[in-house]
Each structure stands twice: as C-alpha cells, then as structure tokens.
Amino acid sequence: MIAQDLVLDVALVLLALCLLVAAARAVVGPTDADRVLAVDFGFLVTLCAVALLAVRLQTPALLDLVLVGTLVGFLATVALARLVAGRSR
C-alpha cells in the first residue's frame, strides 16, 4: 500500500509540473488560441489530479467531480474558442 501511495505522489508531482507549464503557456502564448489551449490543458491536468486524489485519499465521491469536470471543461473550451474565433470576424 505504501508503494502505491509513493507512485501516486510521484504522479501528482508530475501533474503539478504540467500545471506550471500550462500556466506559462497561458501567460506567454503568442496568440489567444494558445491561451485557450493552455486553459483546456490545465483543466485536463486538474481532472487527472482529482482522479488520482480520489484513489490516494480513498474517497470515491471525488470521482463524481471528474464526470462533471469533463463536461464543464468541454463547454468552457468550446465557448472560449468561439470567443477567440469571433473576435476577428
């Protein structure tokens, strides 16, 4: 069990680094589409982290959050992409 906890901790640290990358891309990103992409990626990484935490903390209730999060993330991405696309028309 301890070995599994270690694996999950390593995975969570890697996801934290991914989140940093997403934040950097959202700040730097030359175009607005880059920023939307960074937000989308950040959302995905957060969902991954929530799923891992559900295993790590033994709380299956968190998995409902993943289901809701995938849908909200999709809608947010589409809405932001429409916003970026509409700005130039």
Binding site for another protein (CB under 8 A): 3-4, 7-8, 11, 14-15, 17-18, 21-22, 24-25, 28, 30-34, 36-38, 40-41, 44-45, 47-48, 51-52, 54-55, 60, 63-64, 66-67, 70-71, 74, 77-78, 81-82, 84-85, 87-89
Least distance in Å: CB of 24 to another protein? Answer: 7
Measured from the CB of residue 20, what is the shortest distance to another protein in angstroms?
8
Neighbours of 45 (CB within 10 A): 19
Q: What's the rounded Cα separation, in Å, for the pair 15 and 49?
A: 7
Q: What are phi and psi of 80, to 5 degrees?
A: -65, -40
Tokens representing 80? 């932001």
